[in-house]
Amino acid sequence: MKKSNIIMLIAAILPLGLFLFPLWKITLEAPQYPTPLGMYIHINDFSDANPHDIKNINLMNHYVGMKYIPDAIPEFKIFPAGILITTVIGLLIAFKGNYKWFLGWFILMLVLSAAGMYDFYLWEHDYGHNLDPKAILKFTNPDGTQMGFQPPMFGSKDILNFKAHSYPRLGALFLALGIACSFVAYIVGKKFHKKHLFMKKD
């Protein structure tokens, strides 16, 4: 097996780490929470950073009219399926394909990841802005518009008395490494191909 194909094989397998480790983590800090509230986002689940954190986030958020974080969302079915399918494709490519296919898989993964991020953004936006009109506490921005409570996509942000942090976790790293590997596989494969052509000319 060619070196580039081995790299591609690794690339295809790495995203499976998403089934073992969380993708993202949102942490909420406030003076009353010496142990911050936190939520892990897995490819197929939300989970507490510490016991009962999601319940307590929901309890906090109901004051400003935010919906409860759902137990399940359609993405929890779509994302795992997407990862499994792309992994299978990746494996097929690793065994049968050449460097051009590696680039194709790389682009596919980039597009899908971007779509996933956008989907995540849409959910966050809805979560932070689609508020119960009977919310107990109603806040407005200085310009008079309704204040939103959307957690940051990436980074840290002050939301009322909370400081919200949103950062990728180990699962996301596995995915990123997988995508990066496929690009490496492409480069290595391409170099090998050029060398091969050159040798043939000789």
Partner 1 sequence: MKNIFKISIGFLMVAIAFTSCNDGKSSKSNSALSSSAAEKVYVAPGEHDEFYAFISGGFSGQLSVYGLPSGRLFKVIPVFSQDPEKAYGYNEETKPMLNTSHGFVPWDDAHHPDISQTAGEIDGRWVFINGNNTPRIAKVDLTTFETTEIIEVPNSAGNHSSSFVTENTEYVVAGTRFSVPVPQRDMSIKDYKGNFKGALSFISVDPEDGRMDIKFQILMPGFNYDLSHPGRGKSHGWFFFTTYNTEEANSLLEVNASQNDKDFIAAINWKIIEDYVNKGGGEKMATNYAHNIYDEETHTATSTMKKEVVVVDPTKVPGAVYLLPTPKSPHGCDVDPTGEYIVGNGKLSANLTVHSFTKMQDAIKNKKFDGDAYGIPILKFEDVLAGSVEQPGLGPLHTEFDGKGNAYTTFFISSEVVKWKLGTWEVVDRQPCYYSVGHLMIPGGNSQKPFGKYVVAMNKITKDRYLPTGPEVTQSAQLYDISGDKMELLLDFPTIGEPHYAAGCPADLIKPKSKKIFKLEENKHKYAVKSEADTKVTRNGNEVHIYMSMIRSHFAPDNIEGVKVGDKVYFHVTNLEQDYDVPHGVSMIGANTSELLIMPGQTETFVWEPKQVGVWPFYCTDFCSALHQEMQGYVRVSPASSNIELSWSLGDDF
Between the alpha carbon of residue 97 and those of residues 4, 69, 94, the distances in Å are 10, 42, 6
The number of residues that bind partner 1 (CB under 8 A) is: 10
Q: Does 98 bind partner 1 (CB under 8 A)?
A: no
- Only one of the segments 49-57, 75-83, 99-107, 189-197 lies at the binding site for partner 1 (rule: CB under 8 A); that segment is 49-57
- Residues 19 to 38 in contact with partner 1, rule: CB under 8 A: 35
- Only one of the segments 51-59, 76-84, 97-105, 182-190 lies at the binding site for partner 1 (rule: CB under 8 A); that segment is 51-59
Cα separation, 35 vs 117, in Å, equals: 28
User: Which residue, 44 or 61, is less far from partner 1 as judged by CB?
Assistant: 61
Cα separation, 201 vs 195, in Å, equals: 10
> Rounded to the nearest 10 degrees, what angle do helices 170-201 and 3-13 cross at?
160
Q: How far is the CB of 39 from partner 1 (least distance, A)?
A: 14
Q: How far is the CB of 58 from partner 1 (least distance, A)?
A: 10
The single residue among 6, 59, 114, 115 that binds partner 1, judged by CB under 8 A, is 59
Spell out the residues 6+ positions from residue 11 whose beta carbon is closer than 8 angstroms to its own. Answer: 90, 94, 102, 105, 178, 179, 180, 181, 182, 184, 185
The single residue among 47, 63, 110, 129 that binds partner 1, judged by CB under 8 A, is 63
Q: 112, 96, 94: which is closest to 184 by C-alpha?
A: 94
Q: Please give the residue ranges that form the binding site for partner 1 (CB under 8 A).
A: 35, 51-52, 55-56, 59, 63, 134, 136-137
